[in-house]
Structure 1
Amino acid sequence: MPPHSRLSYGADNYSPREIDNHGFVGNMHTSAMISVDGSVEMMCWPQFDSPSVFARILDARAGHFSITPVEESSCKQMYEPSTNVLHTKFYSERGVVRLLDFFHRQWEDYEPLYPWLIRRVCCIRGSTRIKMECFPAFNYAMENHETKIMRAPNYLQAEFYPASGSPHYILDAIPADGDISIPLEITRPSERLVDGGGITCYLELEEGQEITFVFRQNKLGPSVDYIATNLLDKLEDSTKRYWRAWIQQCTYTGRYREFVQRNALTLKLLIYEPTGAVVASPSFSLPEDLGGVRNWDYRFTWIRDSAFTIYALAQLGFRAEAVEYMSFIYHILKKKNTDGGINIVYSIRGDTEGLEEKELNHLRGYYDSRPVRIGNGAVNHLQLDIYGELMDAIYIYDKKCQPIAYDLWLEVRHICDYVCANWKRPDKSIWEVRGQNRNFLYSKIMLWVALDRALRIAFLRSLPCPKRIEWMDIRDEIYETIMQSGYNVDNGYFAQSFENIDILDAGVLVMPMVSFISPTDPRFLSTMDNIMKPLEKGGLMSNGLIFRYNNFAYEDGVGGDEGAFTMVCFWLVEALAMAGCRGYPKLISTAVSMFEDLARYSSHLSIYSEECSLSSESLGNCPQAFSSIAAIAAAHILDKALSVINDV
């Protein structure tokens, strides 16, 4: 049942839903996080990395847009099949109400994009009393505004004017017929962070009656004085057609088709259309541990995501997205730093503007998880592994999408020269630790990948490679160094770093996936065995979930606790499946069992966050691109492994 605190605005009584009790809608420019009881709990506007307009999940006073029955109701949420159109239904003895949420996407090329959040409420049985609340809190709840109501026959508008003078925001209320009374009222909560208030409205809906609320910004998108119901019907139809046409391009037809397609649709939501960049997550500062300090802003694009994103999209047949993302990467390579390297993270526009990490101390955080952060300090980190992921992306693109151009090859040569000159440096690696730099094994593996993929491209394409011998020598030197300095002979596992030879790290599970080592190599099999031991016995597994490392055994400079890491859980499935179809068939059943468990650790909408608690609750920012990419890859490899075993 939706708790009573959801039925009216009250900062003292409000309690946010669990992270996995939310759905997401978007238009590839921004997105909205919508709870199972009909409240927009987080939305940044008009782009993924713009300041928030609604952020109640981080603080009850930070803005929300809720549409909820007044009566106690049970609520269920689902996506319309093959789309990112969200349905939420409320069931009570008195009646049933359907809430349909979406951002418009144009079906025909000539259609303009209407950058609106559209919320359509329809009573489909009996009668229901609905309460609508729209309380924006602009600029992370730091900017006051003025609220006005514009009344017209059977059509009402509320307008919100930010104090900064930026174009005002509009809330339209459009009934499908003239028999619905729409009593909009301006309300000012007693406890608030900003002045300006919001709009409250009680509605009595009878069976068959429908009303639509549209949240938009003046001067953004097509100019519209009056929104007619037939326009809304057209936008809804166009949006559904767009998503269905897109997912029909998916070439995967295996055992996990529905699972793979839903994760692909989630990944598509995270693409910023103007540049082709993929945001790590559209949310910010959702905690990796309730009440803890591990609260980060992921509304940016990480270079390391590139290889995995292009791999996932290309494997599923979505080559256009891979081409757009590679164009984004190429423009980044053209703007290298003065030392010849690149940053690990960029804004969705390909620069570093807005990445300075700040703490919003006026916000309480999700269940008092402080500090609330925007920006990301990792922008200044040295993380050498990114060159391996970058080169793997270019190699996959050249192999599965289209041959790379000569100008891009020249950039590849510059990157390889940088790798040769810097591979011995310690760094902060994939986990972006905030402690001392180390010679992390994951980074060394990826530096080997960088040179290996460049050499493969040069060989396959017969491209000029003046330093081929130097690259080969350094590639082999990196390999030997990893095997000699990164393997704990006494305990039988690849370690976290050369300095921390007694620390396990799940990042090394990537080894067979990047063809660094055979999945059946005794050293790797022994490493997997150690990782799969319980935490209390020196491993990284608990309740079938994998932690990236034991943060009580290794001080990463952040502090606090964290959950199991979704991505490395799927990496283990992939590694087990690869070993299983190469002489160890019993590992296939282990991989299948683990994969089925992980499928149940997702939300009710098959959405994955960054981490998962041992009690199965989602933790960290959600949805997480890396998690969806790893889920797709694991399903693909596991399906292939099962086919190999069944054919034997």
Structure 2
Amino acid sequence: MSEAVGRQGRPESSSGTIVPIEQHSLLSDQRTAAVVTPDARVVWLCEPRIDSPPLLAELLGGPDAGFFSVRPLEPAGDPVQRYVGHSMVLETSWDAMSVIDYLDCSEGLPTEPAERSRLVRVLTGTDQALVEFTPFPGGSNRLECSADGIEVRDGDTHLVRLRSSPDLEWHIESHGRGDIARAEVDLSAGPVVLELLCGTGADEHALAEPQRRSATITHWRAWVDRLALPPLQTELVRRSALVLKALCHGPTGAIIAAPTTSLPQELGGSRNWDYRYCWMRDASMTAATLVRLGSIDEAMDLLDWLLRLIVSGGASLDRLAPIYTVDGEALPPERSDPNLPGYGGSRPARIGNAAEQQFQTDVFGPIMDLIGRLGRAGAPLDGRHWRLVELLVDAVRRRWQEPDQGIWEIRAAPRHHVHSKAMCWMAVDRGIALAGTVFDRPVAEWEQLRDTIAAEVLSKGWNPDEKAFTAAYGSTDLDSAVLAMGLSGLVPPGDARWVSTVEAIEAQLRRGPTVYRYRRDDGLPGEPSGFNLMTCWLIDAKILIGDLDGARALFDDYIALAGPTGLLSEEHDPVTGQSRGNFPQAYSHLGLIENALNLAGAAGL
């Protein structure tokens, strides 16, 4: 086994039982993504782009919503699943057969426009195997046999082709609201290659399958091998870095929050959101973590994307939307898909995200912090980036005193969120540092703005009765996002108010291996689970206040939440012990990396 994070799972997808979110794995070509169960069943795939309608959607709609499975014809015990060679190529093995799965990254596909893709599945072994394929029954989709496989057609329009080598004998029959194609395979006769070809020209390639697989492995491995990984949980950090890279949209430089929509924050509840888009907050934090590991390309590409959004797209930084598509366009209006009953019956399954219409002032801080990390890393920042720094500080100057919906995108009246004010302070603080150390520009007036913001948030954000910085000015409710007060440097690590806040958050918002964002009524039914990034922030806070034993213990608890192949979702339910929310989540993986780096640094490793 090439990676320590490859472990045996207990797949239950074939029986109709819900597969726990954390037991899934991810495939990516940096334009779209597929989600795979522990028994090699592809249950989520959007085409041609990550935020396109799904081709396979069993993850949210059960078998009738589309899947692509390969398995032993007869029961063969639990499979073992692992990633191959520090890549996003996945292997699932039974006693007498195995399948290698990957989204083809050869021939420059990761940076091509998202118009064609190839999901490749290579079956080997000595057993009999069963292949089943049924697409999402949208429109008038139907399956037809062709000269070299199966075609998905909508009327006269060819949508997708499933090609096999050697040719298989396919049988098509009705399945739920659509068709299903089945084929039995004798693997003792040799390997079988299945290719799901999506988009015009997907079947045009110069390389044979083994060369394309090798090129795909090299695409991931060559990148990750350049990183400076900490000597603490190195395999999990490497896998987390690969997940973050997989969420980077190669053609444009945008970075998505997660490749799925509507995996629930509460099983059976309605807190289900579409995360297949670019939040500049999340994207900046993701890129900043990769800079810390030694890779600046993703950060430079993201800033280029943002600069195009401002220059060509006409976006104003002080009116920046929280979310954009990977192409820098407005999101579609949020709607529910009536054809998808949701993961575990968790309705609605949402397409789009209404938070796009919100105002969130905290976004300025992570963008500026990213530029600051690039500056310290010696990245080639130029006049365009200095102009971006100026625009960010000006946006803070214009908007920092206004209430907002905050990092949690509360669907209620805006508040003066303490975290948002701290991020406005951080934007100006990092801007001042950049002006002096990178761009050599005088910015005396920025120092006054920074000090004004600091004075207000320290005065109005502190609640002496609660002995903590609270969620918003004048409030009594705790919010773990205010850990940013110390993590950003707004207050020093030894400040008694911040130490007291850390202790209050741990006492009131931590439950075992997870930390809730807040416990107040936010106007939505039900309640979310613990939020993984907040667990990571509490670990970092403990490091800063000198509680290294507590930080390491919580970190050990946190990494135990990773699934069999090392992936993490957005949230963890401490009651059921299962993962919740979209998967895999950038926040959860960047938090793990930052924790490992900080713990290693504190230990002198």
- For Structure 1 versus Structure 2, the TM-score category normalised by the shorter chain is over 0.9
Question: Are the aligned partners of 1:433 and 1:558 in contact in 2 as well (CA < 8 Å)?
Answer: no
Secondary structure of the residue aligned to 2:65 is coil
Which of 172, 192, 208 in structure 2 is aligned with 1:211? 192
How many angstroms apart in 2 are the aligned matches of 1:638 and 1:574?
8
Q: For 1:286-327, what per-residue CA distance to the aligned partner results, in whole angstroms no more than 9, with x for missing partners?
A: 111100001100000111123312221111111222221221
Deviation, structure 1 residue 338: 5.9
- Specify the alignment match of 1:173 in structure 2: 164
- Specify the alignment match of 2:452 in structure 1: 477
The answer to whether 1:100 aligns with 2:82 is no
Are the structure 2 counterparts of residues 269 and 166 from structure 1 closer, same or farther at C-alpha, using a change threshold of 3 Å? farther
- Specify the alignment match of 1:505 in structure 2: 479
Deviation, structure 1 residue 403: 4.5
Secondary structure of the residue aligned to 1:329 is helix
How many angstroms apart in 2 are the aligned matches of 1:202 and 1:307?
47
Which of 370, 379, 388 in structure 1 is aligned with 2:365? 388
Question: Are the aligned partners of 1:420 and 1:471 in contact in 2 as well (CA < 8 Å)?
Answer: no
Deviation, structure 1 residue 111: 12
Question: Are the aligned partners of 1:167 and 1:217 in contact in 2 as well (CA < 8 Å)?
Answer: no
How many angstroms apart in 2 are the aligned matches of 1:328 and 1:398?
18
Find runs of 4+ consecutive structure 1 residues off by over 6 angstroms: 1-5, 107-114
Q: How does 1:82-481 map to 2 (within 5 A)?
A: 82-91=86-95, 96-106=96-106, 115-123=117-125, 127-137=126-136, 141-151=137-147, 156-163=148-155, 167-175=158-166, 182-189=168-175, 191-192=176-177, 195=178, 197-206=179-188, 209-221=190-202, 223=204, 231-334=208-311, 335-337=313-315, 340-352=318-330, 354-465=331-442, 468-481=443-456
Q: How does 1:517-532 map to 2 (within 5 A)?
A: 517-532=491-506
How many angstroms apart in 1 are the aligned matches of 2:321 and 2:527?
28
Secondary structure of the residue aligned to 1:293 is coil
Q: For 1:212-268, what per-residue CA distance to the aligned partner results, in whole angstroms no more than 9, with x for missing partners?
A: 1100125234636xx9xx711111111122222111101224223212111001111
- Specify the alignment match of 1:58 in structure 2: 60
How many angstroms apart in 2 are the aligned matches of 1:425 and 1:266?
35
Question: Are the aligned partners of 1:355 and 1:379 in contact in 2 as well (CA < 8 Å)?
Answer: no
TM-score, normalisation: structure 1 = 0.87
How many angstroms apart in 2 are the aligned matches of 1:492 and 1:274?
48
If asked which structure has higher relative contact order (CA below 8 Å, sep 6+), I would say 2
How many angstroms apart in 2 are the aligned matches of 1:339 and 1:626?
23
Question: Are the aligned partners of 2:13 and 2:19 in contact in 1 as well (CA < 8 Å)?
Answer: no
Question: Are the aligned partners of 1:336 and 1:342 in contact in 2 as well (CA < 8 Å)?
Answer: no
How many angstroms apart in 2 are the aligned matches of 1:29 and 1:246?
17
Question: Are the aligned partners of 2:10 and 2:38 in contact in 1 as well (CA < 8 Å)?
Answer: no
Q: Aligned AA for 1:378?
A: A
Secondary structure of the residue aligned to 1:595 is helix
Question: Are the aligned partners of 1:59 and 1:366 in contact in 2 as well (CA < 8 Å)?
Answer: yes
Deviation, structure 1 residue 146: 2.9
What percentage of aligned pairs have identical amino acids?
28
Question: Are the aligned partners of 2:141 and 2:154 in contact in 1 as well (CA < 8 Å)?
Answer: yes
The number of aligned residues is: 592
- Specify the alignment match of 2:464 in structure 1: 489
TM-score, normalisation: structure 2 = 0.93
How many angstroms apart in 2 are the aligned matches of 1:110 and 1:477?
45
Q: Aligned AA for 1:541?
A: R
Q: For 1:1-38, what per-residue CA distance to the aligned partner results, in whole angstroms no more than 9, with x for missing partners?
A: 9999855xxxxx73331111211111101110010111
Question: Are the aligned partners of 1:256 and 1:639 in contact in 2 as well (CA < 8 Å)?
Answer: no
- Specify the alignment match of 1:178 in structure 2: none
Q: Aligned AA for 1:202?
A: E
- Specify the alignment match of 1:49 in structure 2: 51
Deviation, structure 1 residue 166: 5.0
- Specify the alignment match of 1:536 in structure 2: none
Question: Are the aligned partners of 1:70 and 1:130 in contact in 2 as well (CA < 8 Å)?
Answer: yes
Q: For 1:529-559, what per-residue CA distance to the aligned partner results, in whole angstroms no more than 9, with x for missing partners?
A: 11111xxxxx001113111111xxx222322
How many angstroms apart in 1 are the aligned matches of 2:273 and 2:157?
28
How many angstroms apart in 1 are the aligned matches of 2:544 and 2:380?
28
- Specify the alignment match of 1:76 in structure 2: 80
Deviation, structure 1 residue 340: 4.1
Secondary structure of the residue aligned to 1:371 is coil
Give 5+ residue unaligned stretches, structure 2. Answer: 1-7
Secondary structure of the residue aligned to 1:214 is strand
- Specify the alignment match of 1:630 in structure 2: 591
Which of 553, 573, 588 in structure 2 is aligned with 1:593? 553
Secondary structure of the residue aligned to 2:361 is coil
How many angstroms apart in 1 are the aligned matches of 2:112 and 2:538?
44
How many angstroms apart in 1 are the aligned matches of 2:43 and 2:286?
27
Q: For 1:469-524, what per-residue CA distance to the aligned partner results, in whole angstroms no more than 9, with x for missing partners?
A: 44322221211111111111122111000142x11111011223222122221111
RMSD: 2.4
Deviation, structure 1 residue 205: 2.8
How many angstroms apart in 1 are the aligned matches of 2:53 and 2:465?
51
Question: Are the aligned partners of 1:323 and 1:401 in contact in 2 as well (CA < 8 Å)?
Answer: no
Q: Aligned AA for 1:348?
A: V
The answer to whether 1:29 aligns with 2:7 is no
How many angstroms apart in 2 are the aligned matches of 1:503 and 1:342?
28
Q: For 1:335-356, what per-residue CA distance to the aligned partner results, in whole angstroms no more than 9, with x for missing partners?
A: 454684211111101121x432
Are the structure 2 counterparts of residues 630 and 218 from structure 1 closer, same or farther at C-alpha, using a change threshold of 3 Å? closer
